[in-house]
């Protein structure tokens, strides 16, 4: 009897070790956050970049990527019809002709949420868009609005992995008269997203905006978050972008942010809205608190936000103060339901004073929704102690 038992235990240990080895191997094979294989398109194709060689035969092959249709490697400074093509970063980028696509297979973790960051520029002053997908999920991103005077922007799009091997696809859905028109893509990166834990005393998830899409350490334009109504698959966990236009995700390396390393800059007035449904108790009084500031990007004043919490709305102006770059703002409200919408948009349509055309606006950060009245917090403390004692009790007993 005893022998059987101990051999079972051995089996258990063996199984455990095998599982451990397997999970270690799986972890090693998983994709790391950051740029995709040749995601910056700077790796030379087998025959060299076309500018380096006299003759090219056959279609361009792009290391790391599969392509279909007219896909072309373009070089910075390259001219077309009197226009210089824009390469967002480095020397090379890729251009997608009518109905053309590029794709790359990536290893992910089934069930997890990932955000893809990429830079895109349009080539002709026509309606251009880009369909980014990880089938069956897809989104068509409108490149019509130029947010930065540089002529390109970075965008983020999120998906939930259905499989462990997925294909990231960029397709130009356009059918333009001029087949050489078509979006330019560069700097493709991916990041696995984590949904931050909900805190006891703040109903807002990711209110400090620290969790979000991949940002290149040296890319200075921030990352645009286009319309996304699905809070489950959002590049900005917890939040949705419910407007037609994008908001900009910014970092402290290139912008002024009120707290931590990340924040959101609201652009294009009412056309750029972020919101979150937070859990509330009906009839309970709450306070929405947030930081309101400027991004340090020479944005033309005045800056103001419209803040919403349930049925309350308030227009809050940013008051420039030489000592600080942000101020704390708040709004009292009484919850009417189990879920309350918190939302922000910029009151004005601001542009930068230095180039007069890049879009900019007020910065929102550290958003909190707290219950009004301090006895709740004390009760929270008590509950915490109680849980701790209970846990201790269970631990000792088991």
Ligand X SMILES: *[C@@H]1O[C@H](CO)[C@@H](O)[C@H](O)[C@H]1NC(C)=O
Output the smallest distance, CB 214 to ligand X, in A: 13
Contact window for ligand X (CB under 6 A) among 257-265, 298-306, 317-325, 382-390 = 317-325
Output the smallest distance, CB 315 to ligand X, in A: 12
Count of residues near ligand X by CB under 6 A: 21
Question: Alpha carbon 66 to chain centroid distance?
Answer: 25
Residue 23 tokens, joined: 């999970």
Q: 279-301 burial, b if ≥16 CB within 10 A, otherwise e?
A: ebeeeeebebbbbbbbbebebee
Q: Which residues contact 313 (CB under 8 A, 6 or more apart)?
A: 306, 307
Q: Which residue has 């070790």 as its token pair? A: 17
Nearer to ligand X, 23 or 332 (CB): 332
Nearer to ligand X, 278 or 331 (CB): 331
Is 315 a residue that touches ligand X (CB under 6 A)? no
Nearer to ligand X, 133 or 206 (CB): 133
Is 279 a residue that touches ligand X (CB under 6 A)? no
Closest by CA position to 94, among listed 105, 106, 85: 85
Select from 48, 111, 135, 282 the one that contacts ligand X (CB under 6 A).
135
The count of C-alpha atoms lying within 13 angstroms of the C-alpha of 199, restricted to the half-sphere facing its C-beta, is 13
Output phi, psi for 394, to 5 deg.
-60, -40
Q: What is the DSSP letter of 231?
A: T
Contact window for ligand X (CB under 6 A) among 24-32, 248-256, 323-331, 376-384 = 323-331
Q: 158-177 burial, b if ≥16 CB within 10 A, otherwise e?
A: bbbbeeeebebbbbbebebe
Is 325 a residue that touches ligand X (CB under 6 A)? no
d(CA 36, CA 40): 8
Nearer to ligand X, 266 or 331 (CB): 331
Select from 233, 279, 330, 334 the one that contacts ligand X (CB under 6 A).
330
Is 90 a residue that touches ligand X (CB under 6 A)? yes
Is 322 a residue that touches ligand X (CB under 6 A)? yes
Is 99 a residue that touches ligand X (CB under 6 A)? yes
Contacts (CB under 6 A) with ligand X, residues 158-197: 169, 171, 173
Output phi, psi for 155, to 5 deg.
-130, 160
Is 105 a residue that touches ligand X (CB under 6 A)? no
Q: Alpha carbon of 290 to those of 203, 303, 327: distances in Å?
A: 13, 15, 8
Nearer to ligand X, 43 or 180 (CB): 43
d(CA 226, CA 161): 20
Nearer to ligand X, 12 or 320 (CB): 320
d(CA 184, CA 195): 32
d(CA 293, CA 304): 9
Contact mark string toward ligand X, 113..132, x via CB under 6 A: ------------------x-
The total number of residues shown for the chain amounts to 398
Contacts (CB under 6 A) with ligand X, residues 235-274: none
Nearer to ligand X, 153 or 238 (CB): 153
Output the smallest distance, CB 157 to ligand X, in A: 11
Output the smallest distance, CB 328 to ligand X, in A: 11
Is 218 a residue that touches ligand X (CB under 6 A)? yes
Is 89 a residue that touches ligand X (CB under 6 A)? yes
Is 133 a residue that touches ligand X (CB under 6 A)? yes
Is 319 a residue that touches ligand X (CB under 6 A)? no
Q: Is the dihedral of CA 161, 166, 170, 175 positive or negative?
A: negative
Question: Alpha carbon 276 to chain centroid distance?
Answer: 15
Contacts (CB under 6 A) with ligand X, residues 9-68: 68
d(CA 110, CA 21): 19
The footprint of ligand X (CB under 6 A) covers 68-69, 89-90, 99, 131, 133, 135, 138, 140, 169, 171, 173, 218, 321-323, 330-332, 372
């Amino acid at each position: 009897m005893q022998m059987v038992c101990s051999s079972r235990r051995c089996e258990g240990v063996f199984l455990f070790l095998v599982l451990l080895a397997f999970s270690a191997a799986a972890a090693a094979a998983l994709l790391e956050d950051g740029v995709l294989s040749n995601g910056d398109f700077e790796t030379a194709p087998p025959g060299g970049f076309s500018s380096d060689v006299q003759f090219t035969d056959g279609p361009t092959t792009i290391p790391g990527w599969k392509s279909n249709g007219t896909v072309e490697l373009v070089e910075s400074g390259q001219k077309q019809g009197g226009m210089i093509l824009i390469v967002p970063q480095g020397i090379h980028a890729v251009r997608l002709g009518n109905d053309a696509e590029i794709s790359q297979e990536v290893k992910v973790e089934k069930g997890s949420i990932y955000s893809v960051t990429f830079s895109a520029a349009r080539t002709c002053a026509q309606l251009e868009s880009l369909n980014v997908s990880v089938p069956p999920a897809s989104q068509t991103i409108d490149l019509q609005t130029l947010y930065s005077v540089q002529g390109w922007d970075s965008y983020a799009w999120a998906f939930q992995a259905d499989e462990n091997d997925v294909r990231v696809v960029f397709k130009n859905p356009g059918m333009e008269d001029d087949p050489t028109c078509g979006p330019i893509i560069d700097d493709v990166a991916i990041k696995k997203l984590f949904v931050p834990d909900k805190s006891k005393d703040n109903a807002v998830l990711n209110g400090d905006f620290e969790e979000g899409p991949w940002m290149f350490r040296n890319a200075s334009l921030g990352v645009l978050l286009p319309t996304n109504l699905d809070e489950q698959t959002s590049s900005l966990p917890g939040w949705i972008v419910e407007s037609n236009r994008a908001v900009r995700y910014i970092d402290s390396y290139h912008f002024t942010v009120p707290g931590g390393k990340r924040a959101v800059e609201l652009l294009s007035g009412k056309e750029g809205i972020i919101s979150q449904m937070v859990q509330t108790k009906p009839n309970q009084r709450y306070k929405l608190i947030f930081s309101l500031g400027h991004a340090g990007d020479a944005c033309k004043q005045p800056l103001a936000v419209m803040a919403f919490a349930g049925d309350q709305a308030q227009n809050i102006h940013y008051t420039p103060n030489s000592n600080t770059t942000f101020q704390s703002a708040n709004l009292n409200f009484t919850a009417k339901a189990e879920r309350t919408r918190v939302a922000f948009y910029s009151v004005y349509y601001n542009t930068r004073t230095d180039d007069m055309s890049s879009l900019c606006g007020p910065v929102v950060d550290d958003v909190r929704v707290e219950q009004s009245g301090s006895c709740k917090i004390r009760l929270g403390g008590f509950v915490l102690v109680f849980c701790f004692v209970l846990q201790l009790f269970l631990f000792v007993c088991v």
